[in-house]
A and B are shown apart, each in its own frame.
Chain A
Amino acid sequence: MNCKGVIRELSNYIDGDLDPAVKLELERHLGHCEDCTMIVDQTKKSIEILCDSKPVELPSDVRSRLHAALRQKIGPAQT
């Protein structure tokens, strides 16, 4: 497998979706290609950082409007 092949399979490799023989071939390439190793590592890191990002708290006016619309539809909260 060449560098182009690694990039083409990058997502499948990260997701663990590769056929074992293709995975082996890809990892053999990574064993001697520093650039591809760097791209694989940095792409994994990028996804990790994205996954770790926390949502911003809902602004209070947006929250009030949402809950007012809900109450109108479903009525006041009751158990």
Chain B
Amino acid sequence: MFNAIFMTEKGLTARFLSLLDTLSAPNPHRLPSSVAREDEHLLVAGAKKGDTAAFEELVNRYEDKILRLTKNITGNHEDAEDAMQNAFLKAYSHLQDFHGDSRFYTWLVRIAANESLMRLRKRRANQFSLDEPVQGDTDLMPRELEDWGPTPEQNYAQAELQRILAEIIETLEPEFRIVLVLRDLEELSTQETAEALGVSISAVKSRLLRARLKLREKLNRHFRRGTLN
């Protein structure tokens, strides 16, 4: 048992190190991140030269989003906090490996995703797999179809909508929610998501399709016209 965990850890460490090697690889398909501000590269440059205040500013800027990410992946407060803290510490330790070919935030997201996955795998060993092929397309056809009206989200207060979304993400199976969170919430490209998770692009795409259909179906239960719950 301990050996198995140790082996898994060794494998994950190797994957993390190989991830760091590929993090700065040029990626022409990267989506623009809507969260990074224009001065980000200045802060990163300062931090690399030992300006700890600059690094702390980067932490201040992204701590909320990184905690949301680690919480969304691990589904557990304690693991989420741990993964977030380790992600920032690792980012600081490996700052010299970041060459600015991707946004700092994208790089950070990938480190945080890796930290979260290690914890999720420890807690839920053998309960999910990102590598195995998903079932055929026979179950893809949406069954629940109702009119939402043009702006269903306006029927909800912001806090209520946040609660609904958090609940929906939590109830998605890990292999679907991880891909959905990285691709649609954190705006990683398909290629970056595949690299961060160590799976093929087609595995990311098939999980993303299912995750998006599941998200629509779960929102449908709240948004169908006349339904407020």
Which chain A residues have a beta carbon within 8 Å of chain B's beta carbons? 3-4, 7-8, 10-12, 14-15, 35, 38-39, 42-43, 45-47, 49-58, 62-63, 65-67, 69-70, 73-79
Q: Which of A3, A51, A54, A69 makes the CB contact (< 8 A) with B162?
A: A54
Secondary structure of the A contact surface, majority rule: helix
Pair B141/A43 contact, Cβ less than 8 Å? no
Please, how many angstroms separate the alpha-carbon atoms of A12 and B212 in the complex? 12
Pair A7/B161 contact, Cβ less than 8 Å? no
Q: With A55-B64, A70-B89 in contact, do A62 and B81 touch (Cβ < 8 Å)?
A: yes
Kindly state whether residue B137 has any CB partner on chain A within 8 Å: yes
Pair A49/B165 contact, Cβ less than 8 Å? yes
Q: Which of A7, A51, A56, A79 makes the CB contact (< 8 A) with B141?
A: A7
Which chain B residues have a beta carbon within 8 Å of chain A's beta carbons? 34, 46, 51-56, 59, 63-65, 67-68, 81, 84-85, 88-89, 92-93, 137, 140-142, 145, 147-148, 152-153, 158, 161-162, 165, 180, 184-185, 187, 190, 205, 208-209, 212-213, 215-216, 219-220, 223
Pair B212/A39 contact, Cβ less than 8 Å? no
Contacts of B165 in A (CB 8 A): 49-50, 53
Of B140, B158, B184, most A-chain CB atoms within 10 Å:
B184
Report the minimal beta-carbon distance from A63 to chain B, rounded to whole angstroms: 7
Contacts of B209 in A (CB 8 A): 8, 10-11
Please, how many angstroms separate the alpha-carbon atoms of A62 and B85 in the complex? 9
Please, how many angstroms separate the alpha-carbon atoms of A49 and B218 in the complex? 13
| Besides A8-B140, A39-B216, A70-B88, 15 other A-B contacts (C-beta < 8 A) | A4-B137, A7-B141, A14-B212, A39-B142, A49-B153, A49-B165, A53-B162, A58-B63, A65-B81, A66-B85, A70-B55, A70-B56, A70-B92, A77-B56, A79-B46
Q: Which of A3, A50, A62, A66 makes the CB contact (< 8 A) with B215?
A: A50
Closest to A62 in B: B81
Contacts of A38 in B (CB 8 A): 145, 147
Pair B212/A43 contact, Cβ less than 8 Å? yes
Contacts of B184 in A (CB 8 A): 47, 50-51
Please, how many angstroms separate the alpha-carbon atoms of A50 and B220 in the complex? 14
Q: With A3-B141, A42-B148, A45-B152 in contact, do A69 and B89 touch (Cβ < 8 Å)?
A: yes
Pair A10/B212 contact, Cβ less than 8 Å? yes
Report the minimal beta-carbon distance from A33 to chain B, rounded to whole angstroms: 12
Contacts of A4 in B (CB 8 A): 137, 140-141
Pair A77/B53 contact, Cβ less than 8 Å? yes
Report the minimal beta-carbon distance from B160 to chain A, rounded to whole angstroms: 12
Pair B67/A75 contact, Cβ less than 8 Å? no
